[in-house]
A and B are shown apart, each in its own frame.
Chain A
Amino acid sequence: MDFDKTNDKDMQISIGPQHPALKEPTSFSLALRGEKIEAIQVKIGYNHRGIEKGCESRTYIQDMYLLERICGICSHAHSTAYVQAVETIAGLQVPRRALYLRVLIGELERIHSHLLWLGVAGHEIGFDTLLMYTWRDREAIMDLLAELTGNRVNYGINTIGGVRRDLTKEEGERIVKIIDHLAEQTKYYIQLAQEEVTLIQRLSGVGKLPREDALRLGAVGPTARASSITFDVRKDDPYAAYGELDFKAVSADQADVYGRTIVRLGELMEAYSLIKQVVKNLPDGPIAVRAPRKIPAGEALSRYEAPRGEDVHYVKSNGTENPERVKVRAPTLANTQAIAKMLEDRYLADLPIVVAAIDPCFSCTDRAIEVEGRGLMSWEKLRRYSIDWYRAQGVDFRNVKRVI
Chain B
Amino acid sequence: MAKKFFIRPGAMIALVLKTLFQKPATVDYPNKPLPMPEHFRGKLDFMPEKCIGCLLCMKDCPTDAIEIKKLGDKKFEMDIDLGKCIYCGQCVDSCLKKALAITPNFELAQFSHDKLRVVFNAAGSPDGTDQKA
A residues lining the B interface (CB < 8 Å): 58-59, 61-66, 69, 129, 136, 139, 143, 146-147, 150-151, 154, 156, 159, 164-165, 188, 191-192, 194-198, 200, 403-404
Contact = CB atoms under 8 A, between A and B. Distances in A.
B39 A165 contact: yes
> 7 tightest CB-CB pairs across the interface, nearest first?
A150-B41, A147-B37, A62-B62, A195-B11, A196-B11, A65-B62, A194-B5
Contacts of A139: 25
B85 to A, nearest CB: 11
Given A62-B61, A150-B102, A192-B12, 10 more contacts: A61-B62, A62-B60, A62-B62, A147-B37, A150-B41, A151-B40, A156-B88, A191-B3, A194-B7, A196-B7
B69 to A, nearest CB: 16
B6 A195 contact: yes
Nearest to B9: A197
Contacts of A198: 9
A151 B9 contact: no
A63 B114 CA distance: 28
Interface of B: 3, 5-12, 15-16, 25, 36-37, 39-41, 59-62, 81, 83, 86-90, 93-94, 102, 113-114, 117
B9 A196 contact: yes
22 contacts: A59-B59, A59-B60, A66-B62, A139-B25, A146-B36, A146-B40, A147-B37, A150-B39, A150-B41, A150-B102, A151-B40, A151-B87, A156-B41, A164-B93, A188-B15, A192-B11, A192-B12, A195-B11, A196-B10, A197-B11, A404-B81, A404-B114
Contacts of A136: 25
A272 B93 CA distance: 31
Main secondary structure of the interface of A (DSSP, over half): helix
Q: From A64, A66, A151, A192, name the one whose CB has the most chain B CB atoms within 10 angstroms.
A: A151
A147 B39 contact: yes
A200 B7 contact: yes
A199 to B, nearest CB: 8
A400 to B, nearest CB: 15
Given A146-B36, A147-B37, A194-B5, A61 B90 contact: yes
Contacts of A61: 60, 62, 90, 94
A197 B3 CA distance: 17
State the main secondary structure of chain B at its contact with A: loop
B117 A156 contact: no
A197 B11 CA distance: 8
B16 A129 contact: yes
Nearest to A135: B25
A196 B15 CA distance: 13
- Of the listed residues B12, B16, B89, the one surrounded by the most CB atoms of chain A closer than 10 A to its CB is B12
B41 A191 contact: no
Contacts of B90: 61-62, 65, 156
A129 B10 CA distance: 11
B10 to A, nearest CB: 8
Contacts of B113: 403-404
Contacts of B102: 150
A151 to B, nearest CB: 6
B113 to A, nearest CB: 6
Contacts of B3: 191
Contacts of A62: 60-62, 90
A34 B37 CA distance: 54
Contacts of B6: 195
A96 B86 CA distance: 29
B68 to A, nearest CB: 17
Greatest chain A CB density within 10 A among B41, B61, B83 is at B41
Nearest to B24: A136
Nearest to B60: A61
A65 B86 contact: yes
Contacts of A129: 12, 16
Interface centre among B6, B36, B113, by most A CB within 10 Å?
A: B36
A62 B64 CA distance: 10
Contact of A150 (B11, B16, B89): B89
B117 A404 contact: yes
A129 to B, nearest CB: 6
A58 B63 CA distance: 10
A195 B8 contact: yes
Nearest to A196: B11
Contacts of A194: 5, 7
